[in-house]
């Protein structure tokens, strides 16, 4: 059930009305409704994998209690490693087994040994990386004595499977979400209106920006041998805008939907396209995942407190693991390693925390230095996204080679202009410019239009919302699945 589907447009109002008007503020009934609604939402993808989600939930629920009740450190450690091993085992089998089997066979083939690896014909359960990380953070926090185990199964199960975040995040923490689930919630009109605005902005990002960019990015990447130079650069730009609009759009819809039920989810994006260096970019992009790896992997490894070698090691570990988390393909690993290379000079020169504020705060335009810093950072991320989008390493290297070799060719720019004139048109590029203009104007807020029009008269404010709705129906591209569903 996609957020941008008719099914969800029917499902959400029904759950909303039942939640506020049938449960009548009864917390137990509200949480039970959220749980069964979430399971129904997930079963709409593939009901068979619902049992895997329930098993994972039961595993962490019971091992969490066992850890809290453990009489000895060895017993606590046993239950902790049981949960971690089984969770990572399922993730490894479904997501990574074929990758390791095929990579091992390829390595032996390079040594002159021919084998036919046994692979599994398995469908990747949607959202498995996200709900696995929910459970892992929960058991790690119990093991580290940061929290106590939750004894109410319904409450814990809602934490793991709350439908707005179930299939693509944000990756929540028990310390943040569980207290909200356990606390009585009353309808807040202002919060609900804010949630609807954020949903609207998220749908605009996804349907108008991401889905249109996807068509042109797919056209160029899927036929990259037919293009060169500036056209390939255009394809990389389209994909960079697509993945931002797609994933941040999903996050906005998820966060806005949660607000309708009186729940605040973790922020996942903070205008990363306006970052002045790569460290700032990673503080603003997929925040819940970046902070998860920081807290549960980077800091336990020693973070940046050790010597130079430890800093380099830990940086590469966290970025490569982050890349591998995204998918079982060498392209993701190279993408992660490339971002580590980008990040290291900042870390080693203690400049990785230079930009903790909002760029050009309180100003309409940035300084020249800020502008060129943002442009350079954006182009660096665009280059890295080529590996993320490419089918394999060979495709990525061929794409990059043709891109740079063709940039000096006049015919390449003629080719690009013809593509824009006859296939892309000028409407979508203008909408993209308008989109980033609104993002820039709203960069000091939680999302771009949260404060836009606050001081306007009601007819003008409503005209803005109707204009966005019109744009969604008029400029909406061909429906595309959310990119992060595959992770």
Domain spans, the chain? 6-187, 191-276+355-486
Q: What is the pLDDT of residues 144-190, one digit of tens each?
A: 999 999 999 999 999 999 999 998 889 999 999 999 999 999 999 99
Specify the pLDDT at position 115: 75
Specify the pLDDT at position 96: 84
Specify the pLDDT at position 442: 94
For the segment 320-331, the average pLDDT, to the nearest whole number, is 92
Check whether 119 has a pLDDT greater than 80: no
The residue that leads in pLDDT, 329 or 106, is 329
Measure the CA–CA gap between 2 and 250, rounded to whole angstroms: 10
Q: What is the mean pLDDT of the chain?
A: 92
DSSP string covering 192-243: HHHHHHHHHHHHIIIIIIIHHHHHHHHHHHHTGGG--HHHHHHHHHHHHHHH
Check whether 394 has a pLDDT greater than 90: yes
Q: What is the pLDDT of residues 58-89, one digit of tens each?
A: 999 999 999 999 999 999 999 999 999 999 99
Check whether 326 has a pLDDT greater than 70: yes
Check whether 117 has a pLDDT greater than 90: no
Specify the pLDDT at position 100: 75
Please indicate whether residue 326 is annotated as part of the active site. yes
Residue 236 — pLDDT band, cuts 50, 70, 90?
A: very high
Q: What is the pLDDT of residues 364-391, one digit of tens each?
A: 999 999 999 999 999 999 999 999 999 9
Residue 422 — pLDDT band, cuts 50, 70, 90?
A: confident
Specify the pLDDT at position 423: 86
Check whether 487 has a pLDDT greater than 70: no
Residue 319 in contact with residue 331, Cβ under 8 Å? no
Residue 481 — pLDDT band, cuts 50, 70, 90?
A: confident
For the segment 320-339, the average pLDDT, to the nearest whole number, is 93
Measure the CA–CA gap between 433 and 421, rounded to whole angstroms: 17
Specify the pLDDT at position 19: 96
For the segment 304-309, the average pLDDT, to the nearest whole number, is 85
Task: Output 470-473 pairs: Cβ under 8 A, ≥24 positions apart.
Answer: 471/204, 471/208, 471/431, 472/203, 472/204, 472/207, 472/208
Indicate which residue of 134, 176, 286, 326 is catalytic: 326
Around Cβ 335, how many Cβ atoms within 10 Å? Answer: 26
Best CA proximity match to 59, nearest among 31, 81, 39? 81
Specify the pLDDT at position 368: 97
Check whether 327 has a pLDDT greater than 90: no
Measure the CA–CA gap between 250 and 483, rounded to whole angstroms: 10
How much of the chain exceeds pLDDT 90, in percent?
A: 74
The residue that leads in pLDDT, 369 or 112, is 369
């Amino acid at each position: 059930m996609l957020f941008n589907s008719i099914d969800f447009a029917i499902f959400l109002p029904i759950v909303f009305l039942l939640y506020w008007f049938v449960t009548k503020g009864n917390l137990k009934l509200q949480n039970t409704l959220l749980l069964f609604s979430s399971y129904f939402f997930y079963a709409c993808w593939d009901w068979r994998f619902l049992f895997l989600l329930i098993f994972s939930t039961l595993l962490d629920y019971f091992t969490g209690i066992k850890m809290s009740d453990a009489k000895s450190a060895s017993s606590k450690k046993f239950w902790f490693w049981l949960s971690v091993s089984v969770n990572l085992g399922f993730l490894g089998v479904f997501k990574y087994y074929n990758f390791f089997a095929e990579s091992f066979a390829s390595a032996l083939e390079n040594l002159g040994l021919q084998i036919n690896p046994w692979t599994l014909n398995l469908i990747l359960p949607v959202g498995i990386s996200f709900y696995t990380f929910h459970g892992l953070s929960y058991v790690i926090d119990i093991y580290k004595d940061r929290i106590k185990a939750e004894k109410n199964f319904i409450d814990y199960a809602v934490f793991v499977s709350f439908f707005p975040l179930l299939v693509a995040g944000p990756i929540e923490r028990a310390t943040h979400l569980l207290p909200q689930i356990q606390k009585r919630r009353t309808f807040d009109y202002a919060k609900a209106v804010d949630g609807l605005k954020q949903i609207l902005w998220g749908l605009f990002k996804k349907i108008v920006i991401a889905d249109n960019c996807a068509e042109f990015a797919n056209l160029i990447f899927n036929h990259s041998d037919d293009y060169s130079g500036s056209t390939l650069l255009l394809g990389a730009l389209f994909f960079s805008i697509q993945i931002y609009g797609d994933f941040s759009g999903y996050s906005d819809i998820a966060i806005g939907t949660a607000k309708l039920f009186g729940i605040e989810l973790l922020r996942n994006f903070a205008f990363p396209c306006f970052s002045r260096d790569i460290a700032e970019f990673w503080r603003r992009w997929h925040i819940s995942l970046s902070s998860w790896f920081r807290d549960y992997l980077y800091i336990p490894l020693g973070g940046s407190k050790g010597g130079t070698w430890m800093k380099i090691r830990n940086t590469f570990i966290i970025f490569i693991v982050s890349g591998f988390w995204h998918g079982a393909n060498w392209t993701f690993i190279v993408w992660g390693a490339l971002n580590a290379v980008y990040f290291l000079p900042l870390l080693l020169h203690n400049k990785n925390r230079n930009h903790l504020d909002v760029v050009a705060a309180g100003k309409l335009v940035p300084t020249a230095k800020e502008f060129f810093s943002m442009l350079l950072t954006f182009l660096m991320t665009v280059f890295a996204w080529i590996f993320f989008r490419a089918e394999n390493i060979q495709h990525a290297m061929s794409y990059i080679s043709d891109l740079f070799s063709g940039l000096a060719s006049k015919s390449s720019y003629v080719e690009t202009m013809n593509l824009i004139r006859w296939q892309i048109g000028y409407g979508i590029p203008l909408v993209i410019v308008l989109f980033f203009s609104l993002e820039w104007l709203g960069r000091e807020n939680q999302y771009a239009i949260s404060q836009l029009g606050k001081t306007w008269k009601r007819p003008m404010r409503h005209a803005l919302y109707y204009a966005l709705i019109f744009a969604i129906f008029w400029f909406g591209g061909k429906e595309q699945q959310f990119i992060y569903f595959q992770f």
